[in-house]
């Protein structure tokens, strides 16, 4: 299988991205960090397609949210953040060249950051950005693949608290470690104080992780993974992480 990534560098308007932190974003530094992120994707064997920045959408560098590919279908999302609506229309034609597309319709909302894709099922976070109507539409779109809802509290997205590493293994914050939905899976818990580092991008034998969280990186390496760390401080200011910055899909060779 060929693994592809759609990415969009942050434009000047990224300074106005949605943020719960209130921290000033250094756009030039963010653009440099995005280049390093793309380098890490390529090092992991991913084919990277770089789309142009779109100044109309300050958050549009977070490519994971407006669309995702699951089970050979392109799910065109409907962002819960009103200022982000329209981003999905930028990427839908690109995905439509490779996959059948299914659009989430009002009143449903769905953002890719709430979708945890495992090998045999999908978990979707019901959050401030993704509602029950959106989850039901995703369930119908992916049938017969099981889609299960999980309540997200205190986090922006489900993937802010748990990500999939492959090989039946999750990386999670303590609050998600004991979830009954994850029974039978191995759950690695990020060390206290490194909760942000639970958002990692698993790419087979390689994982891309945020720079600056050495205990989490060491734990992943001990688990047999090649760990590529990248600086993402400016994206963290906008509540984003390493999964947020790319829309990953695979195509048969």
Residue 231: predicted pLDDT: 98
Provide the token pair at 171: 């990386």
Please state the rounded mean pLDDT for residues 129-143.
Answer: 98
pLDDT at 252 over 60: no
Residue 1: predicted pLDDT: 66
Please state the rounded mean pLDDT for residues 23-36.
Answer: 98
Please state the rounded mean pLDDT for residues 167-186.
Answer: 93
Q: Which residues are catalytic?
A: 157, 244
Asked which of 101-105, 118-122, 180-184, 249-253 is least confident by mean pLDDT, the reply is 249-253
Please state the rounded mean pLDDT for residues 221-229.
Answer: 97
Share of the chain above pLDDT 90, in %: 96
The C-alpha atoms of residue 190 and residue 195 are separated, in whole angstroms, by 6
Instruction: Characterize the bridge pairing of strands 169-172 and 162-166.
Output: antiparallel
> Look-up: residue for tokens 């280049």?
35
The C-alpha atoms of residue 207 and residue 227 are separated, in whole angstroms, by 5
pLDDT at 253 over 60: no
Provide the token pair at 82: 């009103």
Greater confidence (252 vs 93) lies with: 93
The C-alpha atoms of residue 115 and residue 142 are separated, in whole angstroms, by 12
| Backbone CA torsion sign across 13, 16, 18, 24 | positive
- The structure's pTM equals 0.96
Q: What's the pLDDT tens digit per position in 194-203? A: 999 999 999 9
Residue 155: predicted pLDDT: 94
Asked which of 116-125, 175-184, 211-220 is least confident by mean pLDDT, the reply is 175-184
Share of the chain above pLDDT 70, in %: 99
Name the pLDDT band for 68 (thresholds 50, 70, 90): very high
Task: Give the mean pLDDT of the chain.
Answer: 96
pLDDT at 46 over 50: yes
Residue 177: predicted pLDDT: 87
pLDDT at 65 over 80: yes
Contacting residues for 93 by C-beta, under 8 A, at least 6 apart: none
40, 230 Cβ separation under 8 angstroms: yes
208, 24 Cβ separation under 8 angstroms: no
The C-alpha atoms of residue 165 and residue 178 are separated, in whole angstroms, by 17
Residue 178: predicted pLDDT: 85
Instruction: Characterize the bridge pairing of strands 122-126 and 147-151.
Output: parallel
Q: What's the pLDDT tens digit per position in 82-115? A: 999 999 999 999 999 999 999 999 999 999 999 9
Contacting residues for 81 by C-beta, under 8 A, at least 6 apart: 18, 59, 111, 129
């Amino acid at each position: 299988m060929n693994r592809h990534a759609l990415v969009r560098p942050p434009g000047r308007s990224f300074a106005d991205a949605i943020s719960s932190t209130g921290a000033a974003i250094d756009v030039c530094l963010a653009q440099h960090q995005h280049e390093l992120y793309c380098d890490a994707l390529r090092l992991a064997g991913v084919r990277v397609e770089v789309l142009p920045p779109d100044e109309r959408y300050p958050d549009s560098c977070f490519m994971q949210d407006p669309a995702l590919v699951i089970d050979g279908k392109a799910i065109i999302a409907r962002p819960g953040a009103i200022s982000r609506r329209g981003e999905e229309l930028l990427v839908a034609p690109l995905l439509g060249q490779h996959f059948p597309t299914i659009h989430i319709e009002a009143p449903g909302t769905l953002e890719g950051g709430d979708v945890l894709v495992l090998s045999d099922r999908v978990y979707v976070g019901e959050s401030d950005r993704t509602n029950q109507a959106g989850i039901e539409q995703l369930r119908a779109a992916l049938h017969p693949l099981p889609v299960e809802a999980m309540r997200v509290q205190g986090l922006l997205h489900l993937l802010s608290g748990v990500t999939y590493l492959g090989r039946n293994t999750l990386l999670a914050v303590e609050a998600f470690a004991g979830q009954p939905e994850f029974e039978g899976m191995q759950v690695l818990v990020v060390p206290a104080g490194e909760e942000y580092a639970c958002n990692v991008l698993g790419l087979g034998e390689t994982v891309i992780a945020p720079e600056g969280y050495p205990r989490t990186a060491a734990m992943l390496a001990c688990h047999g993974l090649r760990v590529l760390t990248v600086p993402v401080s400016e994206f963290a200011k906008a509540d984003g992480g390493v999964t947020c910055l790319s829309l990953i899909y695979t195509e048969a060779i």
